[in-house]
Structure 1
Amino acid sequence: MRVGLLHPKGDLDLSLPLPHAWEEVEHDLGLGTVLEAMAEGDAYLLEVVRKVLAQGLALDPAAIPHRFRKAISS
């Protein structure tokens, strides 16, 4: 199912590399523990949550109003 919740033009691109210095950001914010808890031992889910957080809105600022519309319509 492709519901387009994150990006108006398509799905999350898992082939993109993590941003420069992402490992340091993840470590400094203590995100490793949070991401691992979210994934519950599932390596694929860990990759997905890491990519969602790392990519954020930097790739498509138009995603902000898109996500807002999706949130209020549900």
Structure 2
Amino acid sequence: MATGGYGDANQRIDYVFKVVLIGDSAVGKSQILARFSRNEFSLDSKSTIGVEFQTRTLVIDHKTVKAQIWDTAGQERYSLSFSN
């Protein structure tokens, strides 16, 4: 069973997941974040400038899980560099 909410600041966290949403501009990254973190969805949204951050704490199988989700601007706003 999963429950959502913003959690208590003194709550023990069993797991922390850090997720970065990347992709082309206007594909719905911000809407995924809004739906997951605030249970909101809007057809009228603006482009993300830079990076936005949200968290949500869930209880899954009696474990407290904190999701930290970063929403990036579309790929045209930044460049990624990967090295081997």
* TM superposition score category, shorter chain reference: under 0.3
When you count strand as a share of all residues, which structure comes out higher?
2
Larger radius of gyration: 2
When you count helix as a share of all residues, which structure comes out higher?
1
TM-score, scaled to structure 1: 0.24
TM-score, scaled to structure 2: 0.22
